Structure 1
Amino acid sequence: MLATYMLTGQLHTAIQHANIFQTMFEELPVGVALTDQNGRIIYSNKKFSIITGLGRDVLKSNPIDDIVGTDEHGKSVTRLFKESNKQQLDFCNWQLMRGDEKIPVALTINKLSQFLCFTATDNSAHLETLTQNNRELDRSNQELSQYAYVASHDLQEPLRKIRIFSDILGSNSKIPAKDKFIVQKISTAAERMNLLITDLLNYSKLVKQDSEYEAVDLQQVLEDVLVDFEVTIQERQASIQCCDLPSIHAVRLQMNQLFFNLLSNSLKFVKAGTRPRISIEAIPISHEDAGKYLRKTQAFSNYYDIVVTDNGIGFETQFSEQIFEVFKRLHGRDVYPGSGIGLSLCRRIAENHNGYLFAESKVGQGTKFHLIVPDKQQQTPSLTE
């Protein structure tokens, strides 16, 4: 009698716990479904029904693969899970079909003894918030670029007058040497300001970019840039070595600007009395290697690592990211002139081509700039996507 009473009490407690568990399971803010070993749904909660748009009676005993669909390669979630040989598998952006509509969900699969547990979170609201934030960011970037463009244009006219009048004063033979020195300082400062304004204009144009991609022969772009540096190369007895560079889908003017800035750096930041040695090569790389630097890779593209190597003064590894910041300088402008925008422009151009630019360097041992870039593009260039 006592044993029966104890069993009845234990059973009552177990039922209570089961009811509590079921209530919690039912009210979870994420969709949950349990399947048997064959992938058929044996239980699902209210949120899972809402996310899939299907009633419990429809869900029960149906294969989970028929409910959540397949990936872009036609593989089902259960197949992907089995192939992974893991106890848990996560899909951050799974496209679940709800009627004719694709619903972005975060999908997680866990193996629980003889069952599979599928957890789904509807990302639609998050995606809408992200889209709205991107729109606002796009608007802010456009306003900022417009301001920089207008401000730079407005600065050019008074700067032009300063340069003209300082040149007139400097050419006047009646001015004392001390005053001529001051005029020369004014002229030098005006030249620096002109360089800064030009680079600011180029930077703002990148954000406003509305050009289309076209087939661009990077070898030809490099040869055109080398012509621009012809005098400097001869004066410094620089050695330039280049392997054949590929043709890619790009904005020609931006690629010209990128190579111009990188070569300018390599020719500029060289120890006094040292002949610059620069090499440029394009190395085909796998999607896996490209993915180490890019947020995502494009299946329809081949990828290249375009490497510009020099024997310059180099820099400490800790500055490998700071050199790409706007106005960031590692050296005084009196020693190495420049606006401090050039490398920022280069990284922007790389990103505008769904690529990435980074540098490797050691003090006194030169620098390697790596441009990771695809050979094909899909969308109109935009820095605000």
Structure 2
Amino acid sequence: MKTGNANSMIRVLVVEDSKTVQKALVAALEADPELRVVGTADSGEEAVEAAGTLRPDLITMDINLPGMDGFQATRAIMSNCPTPIVVVTGKLDPRDSDTLFRVMQAGALMVLGKPTAPGTPEHAESVARLVHHLKLMSEIKVVRRSFPEARALAALPAARPAVPGNAGQVKVIGIGASTGGPPLLQRILSSLPEDLNAAVLLVQHMAEGFTENFVAWLKHSSRLPISLAQDGMPIEPGQVLVAPDGHHLEVAPGNRVALSLAPPDNGLRPSVAALFRSLARYCGRQSAGVLLTGMGSDGAKELKLLRQAGGITIVQNRESSVVFGMPGEAIRLDAASYVLPPEEIIELLTRLAAPAPALLSRS
């Protein structure tokens, strides 16, 4: 482990076993006057030690490390000295998707691609994108993780929020999430029943190139079929459709998917705003919108449009959100019919989209 001058606004620990890539990352980050690399680590063991001794403001974490891998290192750091962690990795093989998103489940905030090699046309832009997101992530207050067993989570008593009068009419559920979203979405989708009588349309803010791996990871634990949305495909009950890279995901007339290359909304494409706006326009009372953890305000105004159109609107509560930006803005705008923790969101969605006989028997 090597250490450097720690006198800066944002103190970064770079974890990367390739000396060439490590050197390039350090140079790219230290070119920004607001970032200072205070240490580097070549292995997971070194990363855990450095996190405890240097107490950086942010850690960039590689996944494939000798000995203790990035997943194990992230778990150890989040258990002992919670620190904002961003996974910075190269192009992934789809077989690595499980490892990648397990790292996020362990507490990493975001996954970003490594900058392209110096001298390439995309280098400056890729570095600027990385630096921008690292600065944002450094401001997030993270909490200690205890990693209870999955069976213990499943044993938690489920609350039963009141079901609205138009529950049986809900045919489309739109969900939007950003920072902290992947593990929460995995938890929600793995808990929804296979006879769900509604389609789920999902927008997750994610670095380009990782969405396909995200879908592959979600498939491992869901009883519902999950796939990337395709333009023109029918929206049918019991399926989960995920917005692909670089395209807005919307509902079109005739209950079909529309993928759009319209300009970014809130600086984002796909945006939650585009999804919720289309639900308000074409689905109204037959839809529900769910806004989960995330930085910024994407989808908040449009969730209010959906509520005004008769849709059921749900936001994640402050206590369970990694970042309360998007849900908090929706609450400020009075866009939320319900403000709930994850267990109650799962319970309410299950009841909203239950097959008619099951809904009647539980009312």
- TM-score range (shorter-chain normalised) is under 0.3
User: Max radius of gyration: which structure?
Assistant: 1
With normalisation by structure 1, the TM-score equals 0.21
